[in-house]
Amino acid sequence: MLFCPVLICCLMRRLSYSPRYRLHLLAILAVLAAPTQASEVQLPRVLAWSAYNLGTTGYNQAVAIGKVLKDEHGVTLRVIPGKNDISRLLPLKTGRVQFSANGVATYLAQEGVFQFADADWGPQPVRVLMMSNGLSNQSVAVSAASGITDWSQLKGKRIPWVRGAPALNISIEAIMACGGVGWEDVIRVDYPGYDAMWNGIVDGQIDAAYATTVSGPTRKLEASPQGIYWPVVPHKDAACWQRLLAKAPYFSKHIATRGTGITVANPHEGATYPYPILISMANQDEDLAYNLVKAIDQGYPAFKDADPGAIGWALASQQFDWVVPWHAGAVRYYQSLGVWTEAMSLHNAQLIRRQEVLQAAWREALSLDVKDEASFQQAWLTLRTQRLNAAGLDPVWHDQAGRE
């Protein structure tokens, strides 16, 4: 901190007159000269995030981070809950919030598929700032009473389809694919929401349901007459993983040590993806992104125990080679710590290139002036596949994908 020379001279003169003044003024100078954390992290007085519903682990983690921002930097974090992917991402798209603690729908939004194939949406230039990769897995639980121990045994079983939740349905489809099972091989049972799905398995209406292993409803299943079992997603089964990643490339191998029926002594070999994922739009201010990441990283010790999943925000848990690019401000912070490598920069550049191809294809689709929504979505998805293939990029979801 810089001081006025005249002020310093006056203070020093006082110091020479009286020991009492000397003690007081030395204390004042020490306070003025000491670097403060607030001066190191420059953030606005108020920030706004969207997040998952009240009571979810994603919402709880956002609130815990907000407390640290308030306590350490005087920042008020407004956390706006959203009941679905659209309601979480619309405030981000329109600028009502600067950031979103979102889920894997981040990837679907980047790709412009499923609910984001709508003419009002299209592929979104989203960026990652931080993510939580905790000690749990994202997987399909089965009722112990069903006797299912292997994914191939899902054939002929009652499997849920949650309306308006493609992220859930794709993930279930990917896990089923590990065992060579598709929707045509099972009895599909439709549900209006996540909670209804879990009530269904507890009541014995279906044989499997999707969740993070630490999700509250999984404990209801464990305590019910149905019981709970988590089949493994074997890491050494290359064919399983090839089929799984072809459906949902956002998964990665992971050993869970936390969850219902899962402990360090009884781990689960399976798959997971980051949740929640702190994201912004690509045009978010770089300095704001840099300072927010810095504040969260430095404040990690204060919130890591606030929720079972909060431990996943650790610097060592960041997955820099994921399927959505990182924001330039976040990259600058990780570079300052020496953890960001040239290989990560190359990977990030490829992901940004993918987004650019998608957005160019979207502009082309809009220029077709197709009025009917269903016809527009089909035209967009066909064009999307063609342009990604031409760029040497995997479309993942092809012409027929994109609608429930």
Q: What is the pLDDT of residues 188-233, one digit of tens each?
A: 999 998 889 999 999 999 999 999 998 889 999 999 999 999 999 9
For 18, list phi and psi in degrees, rounded to 5: -150, 130
Instruction: Give me the pLDDT at residue 11, please.
Output: 45
pLDDT at residue number 12? 45
- Are 274 and 105 contacting, i.e. CB atoms less than 8 angstroms apart? no
Mean pLDDT over 327-339 rounds to: 98
- What residue spans define the domains of the chain? 5-34, 46-130+278-390, 138-272
- Give the C-alpha separation, 171 to 341, whole Å: 30
Ranges 142-146, 190-194, 287-291, 343-347: which has the least confidence: 190-194
- Span 374-397, average pLDDT: 95
pLDDT digits over 367-381, tens only? 998 889 999 999 999
* Strands 277-281 vs 126-131: parallel, antiparallel or unpaired: antiparallel
For the sheet with 228-229, list strands across it. 208-212, 138-143, 228-229
Structure tokens that stand for 337 in this block: 């710590």
Cis-peptide, bond into residue 276, ω within 30° of zero? yes
Q: For 351-369, what is each residue's pLDDT tens digit?
A: 999 999 999 999 999 999 8
Region of poorest pLDDT, from 55-64, 172-181, 379-388: 55-64
Q: In this predicted model, which residue has the larger pLDDT, 25 or 254?
A: 254
Enter the DSSP assignment of 1: -
Superfamily of domain 46-130+278-390: Periplasmic binding protein-like II (3.40.190.10)
Asked if pLDDT for residue 83 goes beyond 90, the answer is no
The fold for domain 138-272 equals D-Maltodextrin-Binding Protein; domain 2 (3.40.190)
Q: Which of 52, 51, 83, 57 is nearest to 258 (CA)?
A: 57
Residue 37 CB neighbours (<10 A): 11
123 has pLDDT over 70: yes
Is the backbone peptide bond immediately before 308 cis, with ω within 30 degrees of 0?
no
Region 264-269 average pLDDT: 98
| 25 has a pLDDT exceeding 80 | no
CA-based end-to-end distance of the chain = 59
- What pTM value is reported for the model? 0.85
Q: Measured between alpha carbons, how far is 266 from 137 in angstroms, rounded to an integer?
A: 13
Other beta carbons less than 10 A from residue 41's beta carbon: 20
Mean pLDDT, residues 142-149: 96
Q: What is the mean pLDDT of residues 378-398?
A: 95
